[in-house]
Amino acid sequence: NAGVMQNPRHLVRRRGQEARLRCSPMKGHSHVYWYRQLPEEGLKFMVYLQKENIIDESGMPKERFSAEFPKEGPSILRIQQVVRGDSAAYFCASSPTPQGIGEKLFFGSGTQLSVL
Amino acid sequence: AQSVTQLDSQVPVFEEAPVELRCNYSSSVSVYLFWYVQYPNQGLQLLLKYLSGSTLVKGINGFEAEFNKSQTSFHLRKPSVHISDTAEYFCAVSTQGAQKLVFGQGTRLTINP
């Protein structure tokens, strides 16, 4: 059973371009969470999705960021018109149940986004 | 709202020495507490958790942590570290019914031979 797969591992974009980060949850997991880690900071919650639904997007910036988890395929975190401040490591986690107490939460290796 | 403070951004220790990584939290309600480890080029892995009951919890790889409610702390300890323990360690807090974890800034543990 493969773990949570994120790709690409590293993504370089120029200012103004779009960034698409992909997350394939563990088999049987229908709950996906995205976290962002800015340099020298801890991970910060961005969004929680179930299949085809956004449950909690309280941590998402109001503009340029969007996320989806379609019925088929991976979850996508999309950042439009990237700026240098978007440079960070983006982590995806999946769970077979709502996270609740976090013990069944599995993290991917992250995507390091660098904006030039 | 909850917050987590990891007091040390980097901790260098010699191999086979003991280590303590400090974590303090702030919350107005009861909390669940976690320590995660991130080895180089890997995702976060759960080390141990406190949900309720005994305040001393044991985790994988010989680590343990003690929940101290009066001091709002959840410090991580290991009596004798190995080179393989070199990693970034994150303390995190959640509450019952919450859908998210609140993480500290992380502590980079470096083991010197």
pLDDT in tens, B23-81: 999 998 888 999 999 998 788 899 999 988 899 999 999 999 999 999 999 999 999 99
> Which residues of chain A have a CB within 8 Å of the CB of B92?
102
pLDDT confidence tier of residue B99, bands split at 50, 70 and 90: confident
Are residues B92 and B27 in contact, defined by beta-carbon separation less than 8 angstroms?
A: no
Q: Residue A6: what residue type?
A: Q
Residue of A nearest to B98 (CA): A100
Q: Is the pLDDT of residue B97 over 80?
A: no
Two tokens, residue B81: 């570290």
pLDDT in tens, A15-56: 999 999 999 999 989 999 999 998 878 899 999 999 989 999
Contact A43 B103 (CB under 8 A): yes
pLDDT in tens, A1-15: 568 999 999 999 999
Contact B105 A40 (CB under 8 A): yes
CB count, 10 Å around CB of A89?
17
Write the Ramachandran bin of A73: left for phi over 0, alpha for psi from -120 to 50, otherwise beta. Answer: left
pLDDT score at B13: 96
pLDDT score at B34: 94
pLDDT score at A41: 81
Nearby residues of B23 by Cβ (< 8 Å), 6 or more positions away: B4, B5, B6, B7, B33, B35, B73, B74, B75, B76, B91, B104
CB count, 10 Å around CB of A84?
9
pLDDT score at A99: 64
Q: Greater confidence, B99 or A32?
A: A32
pLDDT in tens, A51-98: 989 999 999 999 999 999 999 999 999 999 999 999 999 999 999 887
> Which residues of chain A have a CB within 8 Å of the CB of B103?
35, 42-44
Nearby residues of A17 by Cβ (< 8 Å), 6 or more positions away: A81, A82
Residue of B nearest to A42 (CA): B105
Task: Note which residues in 34-73 of chain A have CB less than 8 A from chain B.
Answer: 35, 40-45, 48, 55-56, 59
Q: Is the pLDDT of residue B2 over 90?
A: no
Buried b (16+ CB within 10 A) or exposed e, B47-63: bbbbbeeeeebebeeeb
A-B interface: how many C-beta pairs under 8 angstroms?
70
CA distances from A40 to A110, B6, B101, B105 (A): 16, 12, 18, 7
Residue of B nearest to A45 (CA): B100
- Radius of gyration of chain B measured on its C-alpha atoms: 13
Residue from B99, B107, B108 to probe the interface with A (highest A Cβ count within 10 Å): B99
Contact A4 B43 (CB under 8 A): yes
Nearby residues of A9 by Cβ (< 8 Å), 6 or more positions away: A109, A110, A111, A112
Residue of A nearest to B40 (CA): A109
SS3 state of residue B21: strand
